[in-house]
Amino acid sequence: MLLKWQRYRGGIMGRIEGVFARRKKPAFIGFTVAGDPDKDTCMRAAMALVEGGTDILELGVPFSDPVSDGPTIQNADERSLAAGTTVDTVFEIVRQLRKKTNVPIVFLTYYNMVYHRGIDRFYQEACEAGVDGILIADMPFEESDDVYETSLRYGIDLIFLITQTTSNERIKKIAARAHGYLYLVAVLGVTGVRDTVSSGAINLLQRVRKHTAIPLALGFGISTPDHAKVCAGAGADGVIVGSAIVDIIEKDLGNPDNMIGNLKAYVEQMKKAL
């Protein structure tokens, strides 16, 4: 595993880095909960996102207490867990997706999941499965030393959240440790569809840009083509959509074929807006 990181550091561009290096417009980052509503349907949904044009696929590792997420994603976590999804299942989903796509895959998880399995073991298995980045939603930057060193060892991008309440000094410290992209939280609160992109989100984007050249992706509350246009116009390197995608999945739980078509069409619409 050390060899992979040495090659990565030696000039071989990682998949996430490649997306932003090649882009001519903001990247579309699509999120779904791994195993929602079951393993097979989740994999079909993930591939629909990819076929629709998703540049980076975020998979939520289902957790019983997802404190950063609103009701939509909480419900998806519950459906996934009820279907028997475990961390082993999530790694298997990634391994199967890697047989079909080279799109970068990022985990969004919580520290309990990583710590319980063992930091080194979690990252080693993620690396072997084909994961490109990991965002631990409830891990403070100040407590990230062990995870940071492990992410370097396995060549997995460590992605951090930055919110509107993050100080400039802290932004500098976070940016110095981040790889892949920074996830800028566009709202004050949890995930969920919003009516507009707030001026606070745009101000955050402009403020963080002064301190780093790492790609900046706006997420939380972004759901419509108009939202995507606003983010692109403000200079975002990427937009992250989660709840709107999970909504589509939830509305068609009884009709997977319709779900797949709607997911692909939604991503195509958002990509066009960007």
Catalytic, 268? Answer no
From 58, 125, 157, 252, active-site residue = 58
Six-digit token string for 25: 């417009």
Any idea what DSSP says for residue 14?
A: P
From 36, 55, 69, 247, active-site residue = 69
| Residue 42 contacts residue 89 (beta carbons within 8 Å) | no
Catalytic, 51? Answer no
- Catalytic positions, please? 58, 69
